[in-house]
């Protein structure tokens, strides 16, 4: 009845495409600092230019270099269907 699952899947697909692009174009040594900068920007999300959307994106970008965090993000159970 609701369209939330489709929207959630489209958000996940969009996030996956962004992460693939970041993994392809940023060298491994720069991904962690970029992720940390995005997280700091997410904490300051109340400012006009920055947003709270930067916090989860920063965690995902930083997880590309941190293998244990990446494994946890990939293998955690998803929401029930």
| C-alpha to C-alpha distances, 17 to 20, 24, 71, nearest whole angstrom | 5, 11, 18
pLDDT, position 63:
80
Could you tell me the pTM of the whole model? 0.62
Contact 44, 50 (CB under 8 A): yes
Percentage of the chain beyond pLDDT 70 is 79
What string of DSSP letters covers 18-55?
A: HHHHHHHHS-HHHHHHHHHHHHHHHHTTTSSS--TTHH
- Going by C-beta distance under 8 Å and a sequence separation of 6 or more, which residues neighbour residue 59? 35, 39
pLDDT, position 74:
76
User: What's the pLDDT tens digit per position in 14-50?
Assistant: 888 988 888 888 887 788 898 899 888 888 888 777 7
């Amino acid at each position: 009845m609701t369209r939330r699952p489709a929207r959630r899947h489209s958000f996940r697909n969009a996030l996956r495409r962004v992460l693939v692009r970041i993994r392809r174009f940023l060298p491994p040594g720069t991904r962690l600092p970029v992720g940390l900068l995005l997280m700091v920007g997410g904490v300051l999300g109340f400012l006009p230019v920055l947003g709270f959307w930067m916090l989860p994106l920063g965690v995902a970008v930083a997880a590309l270099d941190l293998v244990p965090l990446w494994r946890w993000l990939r293998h955690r159970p998803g929401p029930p269907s």
